[in-house]
Structure 1
């Protein structure tokens, strides 16, 4: 019987994490459970940074970006002795279960804690949308809107100067931000880690566009492929067209979450508490075909991610 749970956010922050925290706390309190927050992720857990939470603890946070619990990366957690210390701390506080909001690294931490007898459930919070078992992760939609807004602003100045604009977005192993934002922003080129790209073909596309009267070119580049500055230099040297690079960086992680992210976070937070109340552990929650699901954490982490080739081809066709 679960009576007391803890919640933490780990890894990179994502808009909507606060909405998920709010949902977990209020769903737990509604069902008569005690809740404790953990500051600074797994690092805070091993340092005993726990505090009691109630309904009022999460007032006025649903619309805020970032995470009220703060977050940190914790390389020490790879050490079994450190994980055992974390489990002992949870036991000392009388905590029966842990909710972890984060990406695959955070989920690995939750999985390893579950092997030490800690009931754990993961909620996907990462702007990269790089978790295979769920269609969308918390923060992805907000990041897309941030990037889309930046593309629109850069297009204005690129058109005025008749420039090529190379925009670097986040996504080391996953090109979803580049793909979706590039399609929505009408980019002439979308470069992602899942697809090989031909630099010469890109030059031809840019020059063909110029010959047909295009005033500008927008190239969206996922950070996992290479650097925007290097690509911009290559384009300018070969094509002769003035080219500028813009690296959006951590601005993509900030800002108030969109309605889609708030609703998704709220649904996932509520589901995580329901899973724990059923006595289950080593699970992750997610969304598939607009239905909230839960799945074994090992199976979820082992799934191979499928890139949306069809959407990529559509984006290429519509950019002509």
Structure 2
């Protein structure tokens, strides 16, 4: 297990990966959205948000031709609206230093970054606003990108997660649910993406469940046991270090060999606790193709769920 400054590493998810993800999402979405569906989030009317430059993926019907003519159509300008019947998707992703650790050249953060891309391309398919919130250990520091439409903003969110740039600092005010709820005020889909290997995880899950009163909250758990499947060592005692706290501890070879199993047991407990609080959870492993399909289908089912309440 190792970690380095993320600027020194190759991108966790590059533009070619995002394009491949987009093709998978488009294929699955078109297969799953055949027929008559009604959006889970409902509303009426539009709120004018402002003007911005046209970007690939924007509908031509959004172009403000009168305003664009003032610029000699370079660039084209579109009107942005917020429609209450759309479902803003705002992933809340773990950015703690431990996510930059991994094994076999695959950090935990790579799975998280790919999940952000999948969710973003799903939002782009539905022309839904997409944003991002990141958190570190104990949710002490929060940062975010406001939701916007378009594929280019999805790419921007993925890059922001990978390189921690362009993010707006969010002041922590009170509890986790209060801080997040203060930023995401309109109804939104809030996937919480992490391996959930942190202290007080039950308290965190309780706080997240409170957000479910207003928002559609679910958990995306990265099966990070692979990062603890470490090579065998001849030494009887091994010194290990916590990348987040800097604390070190000496463990026996037997304890060292049990780290992966302990991680699995911990995540099983998290999964059970989420079930107790009626929070849906989807698990992602190292199989990228399987992850892409599983998360896409999970999101489209929630996005198009018929309501008979």
TM-score range relative to shorter protein: 0.3 to 0.5
- TM-score scaled by length of structure 2: 0.41
TM-score with structure 1 setting the length: 0.40
